[in-house]
Structure 1
Amino acid sequence: CSSGEAPDSQHAKSNRGSKVTEETVALVVFSIFLAAALIVIYRLCEFVCRCCNLFKDDPCYKCEEGWEQHGGKCYYFSINKSSWKQSRDECRAKGGDLVKIDSREEQTFLERRLKDVMNEAEDKFWIGLTDSAVEGRWVWADGSPLNERLQFWSRDEPDNWTGTDGEHPDGEDCVGMGEKGGAKDLKCWFDAFCSKPHRSICEKAAVKGQCVCV
């Protein structure tokens, strides 16, 4: 008994059926991957939206080129070496002043940062602290007194040294900081002759704006 169909015709039908099955499987697999991709994109967008809602009211801070931003302030680590007064004048010309250290966290940032920017052990930096008006009464450049709980003097400092032969009768009235190898408990302040050339740290408020999600 014969079906009446030629063998070649039966083979062609078999190939067409196999091809349709492969295309169906490929389409199903593609659909699964597409659905998975859409789910991932949706979750990512949802996460970004939550982050935007969380931080939309937080301020964003910006500093000018050459300044470093930290904690809402901008810092400039000078390359030039000059006296304390000249250093302060340079900072003020840039719209800031010699740095005033208001917290242990700020001292931590500066102490660690100086380890990176100091070229050698003697490469120290002026900060905005002085007792030039009244000996022993340390005040910041803005006139505010030094907080006794926020002092980071190196060992045996301040010592108000007057020089080998007493050539500086007024002693050491200006303060610098920096310890290339790192300072124990952040204590790296020292008093020095105000005329001594050092690098300096300038400080000014960062420009505040609103964060924008992109």
Structure 2
Amino acid sequence: MATIKDIAKLAGVSISTASRALNDNPRISEATRTKVKQIAAELGYSPNYNAQTLTRGEANMVGLVFPVTDQSALANPFHIDLMRGAGVALEQRHYTMMVAIAETEERLLETVKSMVTQSKVHNFLLLYTKEKDPVTDYLRDAGMNFVVIGHPEKQGDRFVDNDNIQAGFLATQKLLDDHHCQHVAFVTSPHHWSFEVDRQLGCRQCLNERGLG
């Protein structure tokens, strides 16, 4: 089986240059990158991601952290869509997913800690935001790379805002216009998730615009 050393020898470059070329490092000229990649393809070279994990000290994985979830709870279609999209993006970068899901904050935190210390997962996507979240606090203090879905708890945290206020507004609008509901009730969980607060706000905005608030 071909190795990076074989590719470097045939390309007439150092092993480090060959490695950078295969990883599209902009410091390597386009001509060299093209040459190295062509040789790699001809040799049928396949990167050893396990070796890269040992070298970097971190795994080619991203941890997907679900909000605290009871075993009897129905699957959230939004989370499934997120996993599907994340999976497609990660596959293109030769990364895989590892999921953290638990019924309590304590068990969820222990799972995430195990992913960091034992599985060497250093990149995380949290499918929720919550004030005083122990998981977020741990990842922040440990210097891990993470992104949250929703409004970040602290300034400086990276996030993707999926606009739950607008989601609540549009859902209420649909109930009123398409299903002709006369009384709309907004039901929340006991966890007080930030996305529930935002969706309830959007619902109220819609009702107020219709004079039903």
TM-score w.r.t. the length of structure 2 is 0.27
Higher RCO structure, 1 or 2 (CA under 8 Å, sep 6+): 1
TM-score w.r.t. the length of structure 1 is 0.27
Q: Return the index of the structure with the highest Cα Rg.
A: 1
Choose between structure 1 and 2: higher helix proportion.
2
